Structure 1
């Protein structure tokens, strides 16, 4: 009887249903990502995994420029203008990707990084498709491709190539290429009817360009520690730190799962003038996220040694880094989707300003702490930056929308 009532409530609430779909979709992606890292570290070791991680992180940073903010821009635009801006977004994305690939190819000497450069386009195009799926509420369909089919192919390829070509970083790169090629081809086929004549919209471009800087800085804040570790320490340190990052990302993935559905819902409520419902949704979500994240954070801290031991003895030294990053992400979840609230209500500039300050704080702290404390110093710098950024966002949202999630704050 009670189960039937719960099912009816879930079916009658599209938002809750989408949250559940996002949870299982993103959860499968996270599990397969950890499986991918587990296989890489066990077969290839921390050194080779560190080489791949450094190059792939660089591609992830450059990818943000290639998206030009259109991944979030499409979520804002589609509920209002339909698919008018889809073709324009992908054309600009392709052109920016070509320019970035050409510039970096001329600047860097590392052959492995040059080999990885086309991933800039594949990564950024997938993010644009993600924006379309989120705007439509088709979360389950997106993650079936991204979090299941693509990741199965990736893991299968790196295992197979290990026995064919041996222990080298190029086998990992081929596996990653194969997975992104598959996902983008499937997304393109399924969304081919949404591509129309290229239509230039000055307002859409202006909105998206504001998001690009905010997104770029946000990615740099999350990834600059790995890039600086790669330049200031060893590839093995990068590999160990990456595992600590991925395990702590269990927390950040919860917010991403929520924001996957929260963003288009906030956009819809805002465009329909339902600001009271919008505020209530944020408050309830932030309180639930606080409770859930507290439980997971405590669990991660208690079990951190044993979790890292799964990847090999050499990864246990990343325990302090895992704990520090987990504490930072706890604050990230506790304040809820503050920057989504601002971006989906036409105010992305606040995130841009906050991220500019946070980026410089992160750089300075990494420069000071990495030479002394290594990966633990990098993790502390990230924790401080994450806390600063999200507390700032919470204060802005509280003032702008007259919201108080917690009794005294």
Structure 2
């Protein structure tokens, strides 16, 4: 047995892909522990209504942030995989600066749209007189939120993978955690959303300083074929639509639960979704590790390596996901009660989400493959269809079944886009991204 274990460890050490994925996963696990430690603090010290408001704003920022980013956070990885010459670092810097300009312009436009939206219409829709003000504050901080996300992906594009993971999953929570603790001790819990939003200003400044420090190593100042704003937008906006669609799939349920239930229900269901992210964390971790390699191998038509890397990624995703699926499923009630007895109400929703995500993990790197091989438009169409299904099912099921209806809807729409994407990839390229 010891010999088998030793041989297995040697195989891991000799395979850079598996080793990097596992190291990245360790950092993500650290982030998850911090997230759930903070969630435990929130649910036991803040009212479900305040926690629900925080989760609502977080979901809103995911959607509006994906619009503001216009897909730049993912296309920067695409451009990095395409750049091969000696001045690639300087070229990437020029692309990044142009992307920041795009982000700033989009954030101004979106803020003005929210500002001009009828206040009473929004408040009446959600049956909450404070919603419009919350949305206005969120859109006002949008540029800093989007810039933090872009900078995190730039770290990845610059092969600073571990720095990216630390900011994505650990450091980004620090301003919020410190602020929430301070609010708790001064008895001002009502300002949790404001502290959450202000944290993005701090994160944007820190990550920007680091990005320009890394780019300072770029020596050359000439580019043979500079990437234009038009090319950035053309390559990015299909990814943006896909990204926005994915966030809508994760946000429609929150929006409808707030409308047809209350902030407390949003808090209960959001905890179940966070627990599900333990599984999605594995999928995302492996996918971001292979994304640039998929783009590189596809561009040079190295089909052997392309097939090898997607095969390894699908197997690794499933192997790492299965234990978490079983454990969370068995101990679901105990885990939820740990965050407060009221949160056990989300048990059925959690079981549905966990089983569904476990099934979807068998589809491997389908989404990343389409985005990194120039099939952004194809993925866009698939996700738009999934969003329509998600919207209709949420509208039909949530008023009647609440959190359970939301969970069923999420699983159904997730399975739909994963399955269709896998079929399309095999039909076009004869590549098996699913578990095989």
- Alignment TM-score > 0.5, same fold: yes
Deviation of 1:294 after TM superposition, in Å, equals: 2.5
| Offset of residue 230 of structure 1 | 1.0
| Partners of 1:10 and 1:118 in 2: CA distance | 46
Q: Kindly report the root-mean-square deviation, in angstroms, between the aligned alpha carbons of the 2 structures.
A: 2.4
* Contact 1:146–1:183, Cα closer than 8 Å, also in 2: no
Q: Which residue of 1 aligns with 2:336?
A: 308
Counterpart of 1:74?
76
1:26 aligned residue: 28
* 1:161 corresponds to: 183
2:195 aligned to which of 175, 187, 201: 175
Aligned to 1:288: 316
What is the TM-score when the length of structure 2 is the normalising length? 0.87
Shift, 1:10, TM fit: 5.1
Aligned equivalent of 1:101: 111
Judge conservation of contact 1:252–1:332 (CA < 8 Å) in 2: no
The aligned runs of 1:183-262 (5 Å cut-off) are 183-192=203-212, 194=215, 200-262=228-290
For residues 372 and 204 of structure 1, the distance between their equivalents in structure 2, rounded to whole angstroms, comes to 44
Shift of 1:107: 1.5
Q: Which moved more, 1:309-318 or 1:6-15?
A: 6-15
For residues 21-62 of structure 1, what are the alpha-carbon distances to aligned partners after superposition, in whole Å with 9 as ceiling and x for unaligned?
Answer: 321222222222222222221111211111121122112110
Q: Which moved more, 1:15-24 or 1:341-350?
A: 15-24
Query: In the aligned structure 2, how far is the partner of 1:266 from the partner of 1:6?
Result: 25
1:105–1:114 contact (8 Å) kept in structure 2: yes
- Partner deviation per Cα, 1:190-237 (whole Å, 9 max, x = no partner): 111539999624333211111111111111012111111111211111
SS at match of 1:117: helix
Question: For 1:123, which of 134, 142, 145 is the aligned residue?
Answer: 145
Say if 2:279 and 2:358, in contact at 8 Å, map to a contact too: yes
Q: 1:95 to 1:406 in 2, by over 3 A?
A: closer
| Distance of aligned partners of 1:17 and 1:293 in 2 relative to their CA distance in 1, 3 Å threshold | closer
The answer (yes or no) to whether the contact 1:18–1:137 under 8 Å persists in 2 is no
* Cα distance between partner residues in 2 of 1:199 and 1:397: 28
- Structure 1 spans left out of the alignment, 5+ residues: none
Q: CA deviation at 1:130?
A: 2.5
Query: Aligned to 1:191, what secondary structure does the other structure show?
Result: helix
Do the aligned partners of 1:68 and 1:208 also contact (CA within 8 Å) in 2? yes
Deviation for aligned residue 1:4: 8.4
1:153–1:101: structure 2 CA closer, same or farther, 3 Å change rule? same
TM score, norm. by length of structure 1: 0.92
For these two proteins, the number of residue pairs brought into alignment is: 406
CA distance in 2, matches of 1:214, 1:96: 17
* Structure 2 CA distance for aligned equivalents of residues 361 and 111 of structure 1: 30
Q: Secondary structure at the match of 1:311?
A: coil
The aligned residue for residue 58 of structure 1 is 60
Flag the 1:107–1:184 CA change in 2: closer, same or farther, 3 A. same
Question: What CA distance in whole angstroms lies between the structure 2 residues aligned with 1:215 and 1:223?
Answer: 12
Q: Aligned residue for 1:90?
A: 100
For 2:156 and 2:434, the matched residues in 1 are separated by: 29
1:42 to 44, 53, 74: 44
Q: Structure 1 residues 179, 9: closer, same or farther in 2, change over 3 A?
A: farther
Q: Name the structure 1 match of 2:393.
A: 365
Give the direction of change, closer, same or farther, for the CA distance of 1:255–1:119 in structure 2 (3 Å limit).
Answer: farther
Hey, what's the Cα distance between the residues in 1 that align with 2:305 and 2:135?
47
